[in-house]
Amino acid sequence: MEPLVSIIVPCYNSAKFITATLNSVIAQDYKSWELIIIDDQSIDDSCTIVEEFASKYSNIQFISLLENKGVSNARNLGMTKAKGKYIAFLDSDDIWLENKLSRQVAYMEDKMLSMTFCAYNRINEDGAIISGVTPAPFSYSYHQLLSHNVIIFSTSMVLRSAIGDLQFSPAGHEDWIFFLQLFKKCKLGYGINEPLALYRIRKDSLSSNKMKAVVKTWKILRESEKLNLVKSMYYFSRYAVLTVLKRLR
């Protein structure tokens, strides 16, 4: 029997993209999944769209929050509702290729892995591919992650028992902090070097504000990971170099 995968999708004002996102889940060639969508008080048509999907598919659970509390809260709630052996995270504007789940589950089951991620392409707001394939390394460690997060959240799948009581922090860069905490437990994440997802670049993306990203990176090293000044400066300098090299590709 195929293990159940719990897919967690936080949603906020994603009416323009959510249909394509949900259709990419329904189109998966792996069928043992449940989809948990948490709407964080959207003011567009997101809820109407998601409710229509939930009415058609019994394995889609829709939760509409009464108060906007941010993406970390939505993901934390989703994890409490998850029943699967594995948890897959998917942002409400990203898209999976049809063999994404089957490829990851097979790899994790065969190798008994706690965490995997995959290569991906970038797309724009209209869904057009705007980059070549961003490869996934064979493996990635906590110390590598301190220097640079190469894992796009919508490409990740985690063994639910490995997550335990971990939760998402509301501090910003919540995905990066979550992976840092996770890698302290499971040591390594393993990459599948095949493009199994499409990562959407939006003009209003929080990650587009480079100065905020720099400040938050420093805070993660000092406050979240509690590194001393020397180690923080070492990893921050590596982060800066790797970020520049990435922009030059």
Phi-psi region of 2 (alpha: psi -120 to 50; beta: other; left: phi over 0): beta
Q: What is the pLDDT of residue 209?
A: 60
Q: What is the pLDDT of residue 206?
A: 46
**pTM value?**
0.91
Enter the tokens of residue 10.
Answer: 């936080």
Nearest Cα residue to 176 out of 141, 140, 158, 152? 152
Which residues lie closer than 8 Å to 223 by C-beta, 6 or more apart?
Answer: 171
Rounded to a whole number of angstroms, the distance between the first and last alpha carbons of the chain is 43
For all residues of the chain together, what is the average pLDDT? 91
Q: Residues 40, 98, 179, 247: what is their CA dihedral angle, to the nearest 10 degrees?
A: -100
CA–CA gap between residue 220 and residue 70 (Å, rounded)? 19
CA–CA gap between residue 127 and residue 16 (Å, rounded)? 11
Question: Higher confidence at residue 174 or residue 80?
Answer: 80
Report the DSSP beta bridge partners of residue 62.
37
Q: What is the pLDDT of residue 123?
A: 96
Q: Mean pLDDT, to the nearest integer, of 144-159?
A: 94
At 24-77, the pLDDT tens digits run 999 999 999 999 999 999 999 999 999 999 999 999 999 999 999 999 999 999
